[in-house]
Amino acid sequence: MKSVSTIKIRTSSRSDMVDITSQVRQIVSESGISDGVCIVFVPHTTAGITINEGADPNVCTDILGKLNDLVPRDGRFLHMEGNSDSHVKASLVGSSVSVIVEKGSLVLGTWQKIFFCEFDGPRSRRIYLTI
Ligand code: ZN
């Protein structure tokens, strides 16, 4: 296995949470590594990564809605690119998660999924993984 694997995605709206759990599971499975820690990292300043409930899509809708309430796009910012809210949301969510790998499988809770969080899309994005 390469030391770093890449997942490429294309987001379809300005704000979105994309379930990447199956892609992460596949890379872990193909790595042949039985036990360790999988780090999932986003190399972007206006996107993040998080783990939360994947069963009810309203959870993601609520998270994105509440982030918009907390950090409105038309708020007062100094950064001139027009995406200051995206930078703040990315820092609130964070740029990586770590998941335990046991017997070649991700150790996640029953309802947990790994989500790429887009805050300044639509764009082509990359996600890096290492185990
Ligand atoms: Zn910016």
What's the pLDDT tens digit per position in 54-88?
999 999 999 999 999 999 999 999 999 999 999 99
User: Measured in angstroms, how far is the CA atom of residue 88 from the centroid of ligand 1?
Assistant: 10
List, in order, residues 6 or more apart from 50 with CB less than 8 Å away: 17, 63, 93, 94, 97, 114, 115, 117
90 pLDDT tier (thresholds 50, 70, 90) = very high
| CATH number for position 123 | 2.60.120.460
Return the pLDDT at 2: 73
Residue 64 lies in domain: 5-130
Report pTM. Answer: 0.96
**Looking at the 3D structure of the chain, how many domains does it have?**
1
**8: how many CB neighbours lie within 10 A of its CB?**
9
User: Measured in angstroms, how far is the CA atom of residue 12 from the centroid of ligand 1?
Assistant: 19
User: Measured in angstroms, how far is the CA atom of residue 86 from the centroid of ligand 1?
Assistant: 8
1 pLDDT tier (thresholds 50, 70, 90) = low
Q: Are 128 and 43 in contact (CB under 8 A)?
A: yes
What's the pLDDT tens digit per position in 10-66?
999 999 999 999 999 999 999 999 999 999 999 999 999 999 999 999 999 999 999
